[in-house]
Structure 1
Amino acid sequence: MKNLYVDINVLQSVPSSNINRDDTGAPKTAIYGGVTRARVSSQSWKRAIRMAFDEQADGADWLKGIRTTRGPLMLAKELQKLNADLSEDDALKMAVGVFDKAKIKLDKKKNQTKALLMVSRGQIEKLAKYVIENDELDGKAIKEALKGEHSLDMALFGRMVADDPSLNVDAACQVAHAISTHEIVPEFDYYTAVDDSKADNESGSAMLGTIEYDSATLYRYANVNVNELLHNLGDVDATTEGLKLFIKDFIMSMPTGKQNTFANKTVPQYVMVTVRQDTPVNLVTAFEKPVKSREGYVKASIKYLEDEYKRTQSFVEKPLATFVLTTYDSEINNQEENIESLVNDTVETIETRVNDEDSSN
């Protein structure tokens, strides 16, 4: 099947917030176009997406994997489900033997893997079944069990196993660090806390502190290699459903850093989704020259983004389809009424393309 990529471009205005902190507690920043921008790391947003998958799972274990050092303990519990006669100690000993046989490094004192390992519920169940049905364990068979039954987040974001690269899963999705379309100036909130039980003749605060924050109109971008996602999941229906979930959750999710402090949960003001067959295109270059405005940044950012989209057509093939959902004016056709129609039309375009290729073969 020919290459097929989905680009997701989002503009989202976020008020005073600190949704992704650095090691000093300050909001992350980046220098781009010679000025300081607000930044939210891709890892932070991918975590938010994974949590959204978890909330929507409703018993569907394939949506979210588990990234943990406690893989042996998970496997031990699964072994006990299949064989109620196994004691906790025996089940854990068997589970540790499985990971040892796969040459995944273990902390034997804690009965844990030395590094975080992402596994899916399906992989744990498959391993447990293999152990119960076989008296002697084969390392290759164990690794094969870990190479199938990928969860959606593992299929999208990949898995790296330093101990054995053959267990790596190539990510079908790339997520960019979100940056502001304009220059930002970090600000500080000075706050105090009063002791409610202090006497009337006492003065002063029980606590003083500061917190750094900023506000920004963010440009967010992600892409999905549809063929790679299909390869990782191994099922057309799962790929279609997974793509729908990812598009929607990338658009609607937000990292939760300091959210109780700032109540900064907003929805995007503009979304552009393109389906391409040649190459993904990150349109962040629209904002290499920072947007300047005293009347808000969203409207100007949309203009910058759509102009850059048109300019890129000189370098790449015309997309198979482009869909826009916005509360503002747009110069691009194929305007969508809501997020559901945006997602459905995008996936329908992909399904049509796949079906056309199948019929021509």
Structure 2
Amino acid sequence: MSTINRTIIEIHALETTAAGNLNRDDTGSPKTVEYGGTTRARVSSQAWKRPTRELFKELVDPNDLGIRTKRVVEELTGRILECRGDLSEEQATMLAETVLQGGAGIKLEKPRKKKADEIDDDGRVKQSQYLLFLGNRQYDQLADLAIEATDTDDPIKKIKGDKKRIKQIVSNDRSIDVTLFGRMVADDTDLNVDACAQVAHAISVQTVEPESDFFTAVDDNQRNGGEDEAGDVGAAMMGQVEFNAATFYRYANVDANRLQDRLGDVNATAKAVSAFVQAFLTSVPQGKINTFGQNVLPDLIVVNLRDTQAVNMVGAFERPVAPDYVQHATEALVRRQQDLDRAYDIAPVKTWVVRIGDDTVAADALVDGKTTSLRDMVVDIERTIANRLTQE
């Protein structure tokens, strides 16, 4: 009997950020969480998924990606007009609305009118009631269907009669990011897509308290010494912003078997997994990035291929580590993995380690000193995934 059961990629990273406010709460403060009895810095999974998806555009064919938007009618209208420029925008919009609402069953409504908006309600294009994640290829196929209908005597009736075909197009979405991150359609659960990737909230390995930066801005045209400016040293604006700096533990996993079930192709699955690994590890949340410039890369990366189940190692940091944070966090992470592997007999099929500096040397024990580079690791992950899925 084959010893291969499952193919799961598990990603762990230690990343020391610059001072910043990567992910704000409703008051504008950096997000936190109580863990192990102390306050930790936190970056939500959503805040890291967004830049991860943005990097996909550089790593895979854009046609294999999706668009998440409420402006679904505008998107589909544009594609219809690209193919049938002889149609008026009003005609194309009507076709798009019929395909999406009359065919796919997606509820549409006109966007809420802004106070300063003088445009009549009839001039605003309908939107979906929620963000809809739909693949580029699905939009193109729906546009083709709408254009086909224009060759009939009653295009609207023809589209409404193609409901089954329209739903099939939407449900058969094999876009890489839609498949990885999932899709929820409140109006029709048959169109839902279960995510093949899981991303945890990143938390700091040490106790962190937010700090506050008081700032001023100077008016370049202010004339020093004027009658109305006596005692004014030039500050035309002032305020404060909270920030923190921390070493974060980041975790995510991808179920390659479920991904293959959805994508239906071994090579496409292997490419999607490797792209996710690279994008997740090199992406940075954009919160206040122009103010703090938090463009950093991980100090340590540990990627495991498991045939049992994915395991989050956050328990390594239930007791906050002491300085030097990267060194002690690396040692804690290595101990946690070794202890769990022994206790539950879940040793990885293969492990890759990418690290920088002497503080991460303890991770060499996971790969017998055979560390690698990010580029070589991504290439090897893609090859290994393809080989395993082919054997299955």
TM-score category, normalised to shorter length: over 0.9
Q: Describe how 1:267-278 pairs up with structure 2 within 5 A.
A: 267-278=297-308
Q: CA deviation at 1:71?
A: 1.1
Q: CA deviation at 1:188?
A: 0.6
TM-score (norm 1): 0.94
Q: Which one of the candidate residues 126, 131, 140 is aligned to 1:111? A: 126
Q: Which one of the candidate residues 149, 163, 174 is aligned to 1:150? A: 174
Runs of 4+ in structure 1 over 3 Å off? none
What CA distance in whole angstroms lies between the structure 2 residues aligned with 1:33 and 1:56?
A: 38
Q: Is 2:260 aligned against 1:245?
A: no
Mapped contact 1:278–1:316 kept (Cα < 8 A): no
What CA distance in whole angstroms lies between the structure 1 residues aligned with 2:345 and 2:164?
A: 43
Q: CA deviation at 1:234?
A: 2.1
Q: What is the CA deviation profile of residues 112-169 of structure 1, one whole-angstrom value per residue up to 9, with x for unaligned ones? A: 2121111111000111112223441221211111122432111100000001110001
What CA distance in whole angstroms lies between the structure 2 residues aligned with 1:23 and 1:63?
A: 34
Q: Which residue number corresponds to residue 100 of structure 2? A: 99
Mapped contact 2:23–2:285 kept (Cα < 8 A): yes
Q: Which runs of 5+ in 2 are unaligned?
A: 111-121, 153-157
Q: Is 2:194 aligned against 1:166?
A: no
TM-score (norm 2): 0.86
- 2:222 is paired with a residue whose SS is coil
Identity among equivalent positions (%) equals: 41
- 2:344 is paired with a residue whose SS is coil
Q: Describe how 1:1-361 pairs up with structure 2 within 5 A.
A: 2-57=5-60, 60-101=61-102, 102-108=104-110, 110-134=125-149, 135=152, 136-137=158-159, 138-201=162-225, 202=229, 203-204=232-233, 205-293=235-323, 296-313=324-341, 314-327=343-356, 328-329=360-361, 330=363, 331-333=365-367, 335-357=370-392
Q: CA deviation at 1:56?
A: 4.1
- 1:291 is paired with a residue whose SS is coil
Deviates more, 1:143-152 or 1:348-357: 348-357
What CA distance in whole angstroms lies between the structure 1 residues aligned with 2:259 and 2:272?
A: 9
What CA distance in whole angstroms lies between the structure 2 residues aligned with 1:55 and 1:168?
A: 26
- 2:92 is paired with a residue whose SS is helix
Q: Which amino acid aligns with 1:150?
A: R
Mapped contact 2:204–2:247 kept (Cα < 8 A): yes
Deviates more, 1:283-292 or 1:63-72: 63-72
Q: Which runs of 5+ in 1 are unaligned?
A: none
What CA distance in whole angstroms lies between the structure 1 residues aligned with 2:64 and 2:137?
A: 11
Mapped contact 2:41–2:244 kept (Cα < 8 A): yes
Q: CA deviation at 1:353?
A: 2.0
What CA distance in whole angstroms lies between the structure 2 residues aligned with 1:51 and 1:171?
A: 17
Q: Which amino acid aligns with 2:372?
A: E
What CA distance in whole angstroms lies between the structure 2 residues aligned with 1:350 and 1:53?
A: 19
What CA distance in whole angstroms lies between the structure 1 residues aligned with 2:173 and 2:183?
A: 13
Q: What is the CA deviation profile of residues 157-212 of structure 1, one whole-angstrom value per residue up to 9, with x for unaligned ones? A: 00000011100011000000000011001111111112222222131421111110
Deviates more, 1:10-19 or 1:104-113: 104-113
What CA distance in whole angstroms lies between the structure 1 residues aligned with 2:49 and 2:244?
A: 21
Q: CA deviation at 1:20?
A: 0.7
Q: CA deviation at 1:5?
A: 0.7
- 2:267 is paired with a residue whose SS is helix
Q: Which amino acid aligns with 1:18?
A: N
What CA distance in whole angstroms lies between the structure 1 residues aligned with 2:18 and 2:74?
A: 43
What CA distance in whole angstroms lies between the structure 2 residues aligned with 1:238 and 1:96?
A: 32
Task: Tell me the number of residue pairs that the alignment of Structure 1 and Structure 2 aligns.
Answer: 353
What CA distance in whole angstroms lies between the structure 2 residues aligned with 1:197 and 1:354?
A: 66
